[in-house]
Amino acid sequence: MTENEMTLNPRLLPNIGIIDGRLPKSVIDSLWKLVDESKKNPKNMRDQLVGNISSSISLDVKSPIISDFKTQVLPKYIDLMIEKFGLQIDIKKDDKYKNWALDGLWVNFQKKHEFNPPHNHYGVYSFVIWMYVPTSYQEQRKLPIALGTNDDGSISNFCFNYTDIVGKMRMFNYEMEKDVVGTMVFFPSQLHHQVFPFFENDEERVSISGNVTIR
């Protein structure tokens, strides 16, 4: 290379990421079992959540039913988040696992027209698991309520809201299709997100959410 040659070096500035993945059927089955157990003596979570969702029930984080989820699934997600994106909190390296705890777990039963406005969670990491999705985003966007609008991929979807490196608002959507069932998305608790309403379907969308903290 000579002093008269020009060099160009594109560099991607760091940012916090998210992780998604498909959970094993055995784990999904155990979560459904926990949901069914919780329905017998439901503890309403609506007064603790910001969502305009008529039914949200607390799930027992200490239940042995979800031992595999707590001991095999969560540690892998935490480990990968730390490996790829670093720790967003100041803790001792030796405490990476022993003080992590599932602190808050609930199931949402979302009906048509209901939604969750932009919000974040407490804790270090949070997650959502889609258990049942009765609608298709591709079909929802064809409904009369969406036709003729500047649809940015929002109707019925789950969306992260964040600012890019120059401060512009961005959205990252998970399109609500039936093939997202069994998917878990793991993200920093402070990352804002929202759930848009769906229409013209009388079935409930079922999702489980939770927070992971350190003690």
How far is 158 from 126, CA to CA, in rounded Å? 14
Q: Is residue 14 part of a domain?
A: no
End-to-end CA distance of the chain: 54
- Are 178 and 81 a contacting pair, CB within 8 Å? no
CATH number at residue 155: 2.60.120.620
Does the global pTM surpass 0.75? yes
pLDDT digits over 176-186, tens only? 999 999 999 99
- What is the number of residues in the chain? 215
Q: What is the pLDDT of residue 16?
A: 81
What is the residue range of 68's domain? 19-214
Q: Is residue 95 part of a domain?
A: yes
- pLDDT of 46 > 90? The answer is no
Q: Where are the beta strands (DSSP E) in the chain?
A: 19-22, 55-58, 100-110, 116-119, 125-132, 158-163, 169-174, 183-188, 192-195, 205-214
Q: Is residue 4 part of a domain?
A: no
Q: How much is the average pLDDT of 191-207?
A: 96
pLDDT digits over 110-148, tens only? 999 999 999 999 889 999 999 999 999 999 999 998 887
Q: What is the pLDDT of residue 93?
A: 54
Q: Is residue 12 part of a domain?
A: no
Number of structural domains (the chain) is 1
Percent of the chain having pLDDT more than 70?
A: 93
Q: Is residue 1 part of a domain?
A: no
